[in-house]
Amino acid sequence: MPPLWPAAFLLVGVLVWLGAAPAPLTGLRLLRTPDRPVSDLLSDRPDSACFTGTVVETEDGGTVEAPFSGHPAVAMAYQVLEEESSALWWLFGFTLWRPTSFEPIDGGAVANSFLLDDGSGQVRVDPSGATFRLEPDTVIGVKGGDTPPERIRRYIDANEDIDDEDVSLNLGIVDWGVGTDRRYVERRLEPGDEVLVCGAARDARGAVGAVQATIDSGRPFLLADADRRTLARRLLVGSPAAVLLSLALVAGGGLAYAGFFGLL
C-alpha cells in the first residue's frame, strides 16, 4: 500500500496554489472563453465571449472626473489605503520585527456605459455589474503628518468616513507629524484606452452605427487592461513565494510516489 504522506504533500501544494491565486476559477473560465470580433454580434449573441477594442465615450454615458488625479474616465475604481503594522515582541518589550501593510479604509467605483470599437464594429458595454481587473493608473503616497495635494484634501474634507491625516504633535520647538501613511489609488478606463471586455451579449437598442446589442452580464463579466491569456495567468498565479512553495510540495509528493512505484 503506498504511503499517505506524499498525498498530503500534493494536497497541501494544491491548496497553497488555490489560496494564493487571486481568482483561480475565473482564470480557468477565461481560458475556456473564446475571443470574438464585434462583427460576430451582427448574427450571434454568445453567452460568453471576450472582445478587445478601444473605449469610445457615448453621449448618454459620458465621463466622470477621477477624485485623486482629475482624469476623465468612463469607468474607474479608487481606494484609500492606510498603513497598518503588527509587531512581534521580544523580551522586556523590545520590538523584534514590525511588518507593515496597507489596508483599504475607503473607496468606490464608477461605471458608465461606453462603446467598444475593435475595427470590425462597435458594441455597447454597460459595466455596472462587471469586475474590474485594471492595474493602478495613479498611486499617490502621502506620509502621515504631511499635507496632501489639494484634490485629495478636498476629497477628505467632503468624506465623513475619513479623518484628517495632516496631524502633528507640537513639541515646542518643532512640530512632529504623527498621522498614518496613506496611499490613494485609482484604476481608470478612459476614452481611447484599449480594453478587454468578457461577458454575455444580448439584444438591446444601441448607438447609431453600432451593433444593436449590449454586453452587461456573464460568467465571467469583467473589464481588463490586458489580453485574455495574460489576464488568465495573473488570476491563476499568486506571489512568487507561494508558487515556489506549491511547486516544492507537489514535486516532493510526486517524487515520493515515483520512488515508491520504482519510476526513479
Tell whether 28 is covered by a domain: no
pLDDT category of residue 145 using cuts at 50, 70 and 90: confident
Summarize pLDDT for 26-50 with one digit per residue, the tens.
Answer: 999 999 999 999 999 999 999 999 9
Give the span between the Cα atoms of 30 and 16, in whole angstroms. Answer: 21
Tell whether 23 is covered by a domain: no
Which pLDDT value is given to residue 176? Answer: 46
Summary mean pLDDT of the chain? 83
Summarize pLDDT for 151-199 with one digit per residue, the tens.
Answer: 999 999 888 888 876 655 455 554 445 578 899 999 999 999 999 999 9
Cell 485623486 identifies what position? 68
Tell whether 240 is covered by a domain: no
Burial class (CB in 10 A: 0-12, 13-18, 19+), 6: buried
Tell whether 218 is covered by a domain: yes
Q: Within the chain, how many helices (H) and strands (E) appear?
A: 5, 16
Domain that holds residue 131: 36-227
Which pLDDT value is given to residue 24? Answer: 87
Tell whether 52 is covered by a domain: yes
Query: Residue 132: is its pLDDT beyond 50?
Result: yes
In total, how many domains does the chain have?
1
Tell whether 187 is covered by a domain: yes
Give the span between the Cα atoms of 151 and 147, in whole angstroms. Answer: 11
Burial class (CB in 10 A: 0-12, 13-18, 19+), 188: buried
